[in-house]
């Protein structure tokens, strides 16, 4: 087992853990864990580090170690008697002689120096659990100290990324609504609105649907409000989705509306949303709620990211090991375990139904989701990651070989000495294109997906094969790949990757199934490859706007080669990025910070400038490394997905920021009524009267704002302040303000007064 361990427990201690170790059932965790982190000055080499303090309190009798998850980092315990093992990248366990002396009411404190910087709450640990002498695990209660509590917790490498109150005040001023939303201001916005004279009282739930004659655009429809009636003319296949949108926008009871003729259509045929359920699972019920949101905001393609390194989430009848192993995660150090190691979060138990670590969709659940999506006018594209991001599949096929003796489906080669590290720090997550197993697997998956969609009576537009992030050196030590390269005249790893993609595309073409993929499949390949592969491609998701070898953007390079492009750019449409650099915001930041206005500014014509390019549309992505539950998923979606929806429907025109915020404010009661969780922007703070007083602002007219002067984050019992009100600062050195909207709290805003 490859490892970057700083300190290792004896191998004998690891060997005692059985391959399958269910957690002990307890009414409540017997141990609590408290975490605090602070950034440290850079060391003599200029490298950043931070110190983590982990305090464990409770009954520790019988406990060997404390397990937890964290983004893969090098760690060193401050106490040389303590040890840290890396079970897999991102899964760690702390050991200490102090465990052996536990008496039943113990408090142990561990200090760990960790390479890198604390960028946000998502860089702190998660998934703390006890690892007992007998190999069982138990969940631990867990609390974090917010990074916003201390400046040294959010200032790293001399860089303070906190969005302070005065900067937020200026942003709020820019986006605050200057007028109420117009009755026909919706997302996505209507193309043509011709107001008539007078008003009509109508019930949108009882609108009269009729076929539309003489449409000039694909997906065109017309809404007429006149003479006390609402009439909707549209192709019959659009009626269910339009009914959902109309009642969302105008209600389900009698309402008085200005007489109007609205003519509307989507400008882009592909308006997508990708949800990653591999890293952290979402229930079928929650996926339906996501589909509901897609329908009311005019999105029509659901990219279902079902598999990745960390899990396999779809039942494949011919290969039950894929879900038996790939849908369960827990404390696993035995190489023959029949589940995957815990990653991101969990309690060490591969059998628990709590949390987001375990779970998969049965065939029937997938079929039901297909039918539900189809009823809303939404197509489903399932993703089967290959040849990279394949660790779950690789391990599952190893389990199958051990059980059946059939080695024909193995995805990796014995004797392969390749050394590589993937983007997620794995060293064993790439299929070997020189073996038969990967192609057999991809064939089985295609046949199963075709059967599932046929049984559902729902078209299969394409199978997404992933194709991204194959790390350098993935096949450098493979005898089979060396032989393949010699036989086929392949000169590089890129050629090996291209060989795999071409072979899969040809096999899928024989089955009549188009292929989708990420940009790596289409970027900077030879002309003969492009001529072979392009006819088999349904869509290419371009996620990067960075220059490509000095020849324009990645998008332009791929579009210029003739591929059909879906703009999925990280800096506009990765909805899992943090809303802002505030350290208490959830999400990642490697692609910047994306809020509801970022996606709105993602104009397709600016992202791809190739004349005549085949740009199908736009797609939002939520990768789920930081998503632990349905509430977090919804918070990432709302309100960000409204900007995405507007750009997909209307790529060349938009609301102003204040007008868009007015629409968002009007949508919030609808989210409340449906029980959705949503993100709330933070308040602004500005000093007034020469620094003697302060005032606050809020992008929401009915938010409740509260403040403190004592350095503590405001609670719902703190002193209230009204937007625009001036309050004396006195001798306070820091002002902290927080807002609540319908009970949903913002992150805290901070302003240092200089006193």
Can you tell me whether residue 690 is helix, strand or coil? helix
Is there a contact between 333 and 114 (Cβ–Cβ < 8 Å)? no
Closest CA to 392 of 445, 347, 430, 354: 430
Concatenate the DSSP letters of all residues of 324-374 into one string: HHHT-EE---STT-SSEEPBSB--S-TT--SSSSS--B-HHHHHHHHHHHH
Is there a contact between 41 and 14 (Cβ–Cβ < 8 Å)? no
Instruction: Count the neighbouring beta carbons within 10 Å of the beta carbon of residue 23.
Output: 22
Q: How many helices (DSSP H) and strands (DSSP E) are in the chain?
A: 19, 37
* CB neighbour burial string for 625-635, b if at least 16 within 10 angstroms, e if fewer: bbbbbbebbbb
Instruction: Count the neighbouring beta carbons within 10 Å of the beta carbon of residue 19.
Output: 14
CA dist 401 and 408 (Å) reads 8
Instruction: Count the neighbouring beta carbons within 10 Å of the beta carbon of residue 254.
Output: 11
CA dist 465 and 684 (Å) reads 45
Is there a contact between 110 and 35 (Cβ–Cβ < 8 Å)? no
Burial degree of 9 (CB within 10 A; 0-12, 13-18, 19+): middle
CA dist 493 and 701 (Å) reads 57
Can you tell me whether residue 534 is helix, strand or coil? helix
- Token readout for 115 is 């390479």
- Token readout for 109 is 């404190």
Closest CA to 430 of 531, 520, 332: 520
Question: Between vectors from CA 598 to CA 597 and to CA 602, what angle results, nearest 5°?
Answer: 115
Is there a contact between 153 and 583 (Cβ–Cβ < 8 Å)? yes
Distance between alpha carbon 10 and the CA centroid of its chain, in Å?
37
Chain position carrying tokens 């050196």: 473
Distance between alpha carbon 375 and the CA centroid of its chain, in Å?
25
Chain position carrying tokens 């038996």: 324
- Token readout for 654 is 């938009």
Q: Could you give the C-alpha distances from 85 to 67, 110, 467, in angstroms and in order? A: 9, 14, 32
Peptide bond connecting 188 to the previous residue in cis, omega within 30 degrees of 0? yes
Is there a contact between 569 and 590 (Cβ–Cβ < 8 Å)? no
Outline where 391-474 has alpha helix (H). 391-404, 437-456
Is there a contact between 407 and 329 (Cβ–Cβ < 8 Å)? no
- Token readout for 351 is 């059998």
CA dist 283 and 294 (Å) reads 17
Closest CA to 591 of 612, 611, 570, 607: 570
469 tagged catalytic? yes
Q: Could you give the C-alpha distances from 268 to 143, 566, 619, 647, 651, in angstroms and in order? A: 45, 10, 11, 9, 8
Q: What is the end-to-end Cα distance of the chain in Å, rounded?
A: 55
Catalytic residue among 469, 634, 646, 667: 469
Strand order in 31-40's β-sheet?
75-77, 106-115, 49-58, 31-40, 141-144
Residue 20 backbone zone (phi > 0: left; psi -120 to 50: alpha; other: beta): beta
- Token readout for 618 is 């736009």
Active site residues: 469
């Amino acid at each position: 087992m490859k490892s970057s361990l700083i300190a290792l427990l004896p191998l004998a201690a690891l060997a005692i853990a059985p391959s399958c170790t269910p957690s002990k059932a307890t009414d409540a965790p017997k141990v609590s864990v408290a975490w605090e982190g602070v950034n440290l000055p850079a060391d003599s080499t200029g490298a950043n580090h931070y110190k983590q303090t982990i305090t464990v309190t409770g009954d520790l009798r019988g406990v060997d170690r404390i397990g937890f998850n964290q983004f893969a980092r090098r760690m060193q315990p401050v106490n040389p008697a303590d040890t840290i093992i890396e079970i897999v990248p991102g899964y760690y366990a702390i050991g200490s002689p102090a465990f052996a002396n536990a008496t039943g009411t113990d408090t142990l404190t561990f200090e760990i120096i960790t390479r890198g910087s604390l960028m946000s709450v998502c860089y702190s640990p998660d998934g703390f659990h006890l690892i007992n002498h007998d190999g069982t695990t138990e969940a631990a209660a867990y609390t974090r100290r917010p990074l916003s509590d201390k400046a040294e917790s959010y200032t790293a490498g001399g860089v303070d990324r906190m969005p302070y109150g005065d900067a937020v005040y200026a942003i709020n001023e820019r986006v605050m609504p200057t007028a109420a939303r117009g009755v026909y201001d919706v997302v996505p916005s209507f193309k043509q609105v011709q107001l008539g004279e007078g008003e009509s009282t109508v019930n949108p739930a009882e609108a009269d649907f009729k076929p539309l004659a003489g449409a000039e655009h694909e997906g065109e429809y017309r809404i007429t409000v006149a003479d006390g009636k609402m009439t909707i003319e549209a192709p019959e296949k659009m009626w269910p989705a339009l009914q959902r949108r109309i009642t969302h926008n105008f209600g389900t009871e009698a309402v008085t509306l200005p007489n109007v003729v609205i003519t509307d259509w989507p400008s882009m045929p592909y308006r997508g949303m990708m949800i990653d359920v591999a890293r952290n699972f979402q229930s079928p019920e929650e996926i339906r709620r996501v589909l509901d949101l897609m329908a009311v905001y005019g999105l029509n393609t659901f990219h279902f990211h079902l598999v990745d390194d960390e899990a396999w989430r779809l039942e494949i009848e011919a290969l039950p090991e894929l879900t038996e192993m790939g849908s369960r995660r827990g404390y696993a150090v035995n190489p023959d375990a029949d589940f995957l190691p815990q990653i991101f979060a969990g309690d060490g138990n591969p059998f628990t139904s709590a949390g987001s670590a375990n779970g998969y969709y049965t065939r029937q659940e997938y079929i039901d989701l297909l039918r539900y999506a189809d009823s809303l006018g939404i197509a489903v594209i399932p993703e089967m990651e290959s040849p990279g991001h394949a660790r779950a599949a690789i391990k599952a096929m190893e389990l199958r070989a051990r059980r059946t003796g059939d080695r024909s489906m193995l995805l990796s080669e014995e004797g392969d000495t390749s050394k590589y590290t993937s983007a997620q720090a794995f060293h064993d997550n790439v299929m070997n294109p020189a073996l038969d197993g990967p192609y057999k697997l991809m064939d089985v998956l295609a046949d199963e997906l075709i059967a599932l969609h046929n049984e559902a009576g729902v078209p299969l537009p394409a199978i997404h094969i992933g194709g991204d992030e194959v790390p350098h050196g993935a096949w450098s030590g493979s005898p089979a790949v060396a032989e393949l390269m010699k036989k086929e005249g392949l000169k590089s790893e890129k050629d090996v990757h291209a060989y795999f993609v071409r072979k899969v595309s040809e096999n899928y073409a024989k089955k009549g199934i188009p292929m989708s993929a990420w940009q790596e499949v289409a970027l900077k390949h030879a002309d003969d490859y492009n001529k072979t592969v392009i006819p088999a491609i349904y869509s290419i998701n371009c996620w990067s706007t960075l220059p490509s070898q000095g020849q324009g953007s990645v998008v332009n390079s791929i579009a210029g080669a003739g591929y059909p492009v879906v703009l999925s750019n990280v800096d506009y449409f990765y909805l899992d990025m943090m809303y802002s650099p505030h350290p208490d915001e959830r999400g990642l930041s490697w692609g910047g910070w994306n809020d509801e206005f970022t996606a709105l500014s993602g104009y397709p014509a600016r992202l791809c400038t190739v004349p005549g390019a085949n740009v199908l549309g736009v797609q939002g992505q939520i990768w789920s490394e930081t998503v632990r539950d349905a509430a977090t998923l919804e918070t990432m979606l709302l309100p960000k997905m409204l900007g995405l929806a507007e750009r997909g429907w209307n790529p060349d025109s938009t609301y102003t920021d204040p007008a868009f915020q007015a629409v968002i404010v009007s949508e919030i009661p609808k989210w409340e009524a449906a029980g959705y969780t949503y993100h709330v922007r933070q308040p602004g703070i500005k000093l007034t009267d020469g620094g003697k007083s302060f005032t606050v602002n809020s992008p929401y007219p009915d938010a409740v704002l509260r403040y403190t002067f004592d350095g503590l984050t405001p609670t719902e019992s703190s002193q209230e302040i009204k937007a625009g009100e001036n309050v004396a600062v006195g001798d306070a050195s820091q002002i902290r303000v927080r807002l609540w909207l319908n009970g949903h709290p913002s992150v805290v805003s901070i302003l240092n007064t200089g006193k």
